[in-house]
Amino acid sequence: MMKRQKRIALINDITGFGRCSIAAMAPIVSAMKIQAVPIPTAILSTHTQFPIYYFDDYTSRMHDYIQTYKDLNLEFDAIATGFLGSVEQFEIVFDFIETFKNKDAFVLVDPVMGDHGHLYATYTPQMCEEMKKLVHYADLLTPNLTELVTLVDEPYPDHLPSFDELKQMCQKLSDNGPQHIVVTGIPFNDKQILNFIYNKNEDYQIVMVDRIDQDRCGTGDVIASVIAGSYLNGHSFYHSVKKATKFASRCIERCVELEIPHYYGLCFEEYLWELGRDE
Ligand code: PXL
């Protein structure tokens, strides 16, 4: 029997300009020979780091949208969640996961909440509480440091957390949820960025990357989608994180060469073809 292609549901926003969320994730997983199925949470003209943006909350339409997938008995091999635009959306996402996650599927939760010690303008305290519940559904979790500390009710640290501190915070989240966590983009020093990998009941791992230029919007989405694609293609979490961070670094380097403003996202189009090599 022919094995069908793998399929991933991307529960995230669709943002036209700015190379984030589904506009970045769908082409990336497609390049990795995985079918991308967008489930929009909101439709924006540009992402929220632009001085102006049009924001259309999709909450009221999500139920009917998803109902057709239930009626068609569609199945997904993975579910990746990202930016959520309202409290009500969490219930919709819990239901989606309960309906569509079969025993072999995995759920990647990117708890998109904020960056650099601050939550995004659209994020309310109630949404933070809901995000803590969503973490219980995750097999893989990809927070940045801001999101990690928020999820464990700690203040944003004024120093670089030790590996032990990072491990303890991850352990709290893992106790009731994800098998693997990568805390992405931790500023280590002027030259390097640390990615801390927590594995349930196993040693932690570190992936260091060179800092190139300033932080770029959409980096988290590029990293989460390469991890999801690589893991779905059967690679280890560590291998997937390495591939993702290396790919993001190369794209950022190219953005600098092309003088692309940091809020225009990562010019992943330049290297998309490389992701087709299943390494
Ligand atoms: O890349 C994260 C992200 C996703 N979606 C929207 C955003 C952002 C970050 O600002 O504004 C709409």
Are β-strands 205-210 and 7-17 bridged in parallel, bridged antiparallel, or unpaired? unpaired
Give CA–CA dist 21/10, Å, rounded. 9
At 262, the amino acid letter reads: H
Q: Please give the pLDDT value at position 262.
A: 93
In the prediction, which pLDDT does 120 show? 86
- Report residue 145 as tokens: 């440091």
Kindly state the DSSP code that residue 202 receives in the 8-state scheme: S
Q: In sequence order, which residues have a C-beta less than 8 Å from that of residue 9 and are 6 or more positions away?
A: 37, 39, 76, 78, 79, 80, 96, 100
Read off the tokens for 109. 């939760």
d(CA 44, CA 267): 19
- Residue 187, helix vs strand vs coil: strand
Ligand 1 geometric centre to CA of 201 (Å): 32
| DSSP state, residue 42 | E
pLDDT digits (tens, 9 = 90+) for 102-114: 889 999 999 999 9
Query: Could you identify the atom of ligand 1 that is nearest to the CA of residue 55?
Result: 12
Q: Print pLDDT tens along the chain (279 aa).
A: 457 899 999 999 999 999 999 999 999 999 999 999 999 999 999 998 899 999 999 999 999 999 999 999 999 999 999 989 889 999 999 999 999 998 899 999 999 999 999 998 878 999 999 999 999 999 999 999 999 999 999 999 999 999 999 999 999 999 989 999 999 999 999 899 999 999 999 999 999 999 998 888 899 999 999 999 999 999 999 999 999 999 999 999 999 999 999 999 999 999 999 999 877
Return the pLDDT at 251. Answer: 97
Strand order in the sheet with 35-46: 55-57, 35-46, 7-17, 76-81, 101-109, 140-141, 180-187, 192-199, 205-210
Atom of ligand 1 at shortest range from CA of 47 = 11
Counting from 1 in the atom list of ligand 1, the atom nearest the Cα of 15 is 12
- Residue 198 phi, psi (nearest 5): -105, 130
Task: Tell me if 115 CB under 6 Å of ligand 1.
Answer: no
The best mutation among 13, 25, 262, 264 to test binding of ligand 1, ranked by most ligand atoms within 8 Å of the C-beta, falls on 13
Query: Is 249 near ligand 1, meaning CB less than 6 Å away?
Result: no
According to the model, what pLDDT value does residue 2 have?
A: 55
Q: What is the pLDDT of residues 116-166, one digit of tens each?
A: 999 988 789 999 999 999 999 999 999 999 999 999 999 999 999 999 999
Residue type, 269: E
Looking from the CA of residue 82, the nearest atom of ligand 1 is 4
Residue 88 near residue 59, CB atoms below 8 Å = yes
What residues are paired with 57 via a beta bridge? 42
Instruction: Give the pLDDT confidence score for residue 194 in this predicted structure.
Output: 96
Q: Where are the alpha helices (DSSP H) in the chain?
A: 21-31, 59-71, 87-100, 125-135, 145-151, 163-175, 219-232, 237-257
Q: Tell me how far apart the alpha carbons of residues 36 and 260 are, in angstroms, rounded to a whole number.
A: 27
- Model pTM? 0.96
Phi, psi of 141 (to 5 degrees): -130, 135
Task: Report the separation in Å between the CA atom of 1 and the middle of ligand 1, taken as the mean of its atom positions.
Answer: 41
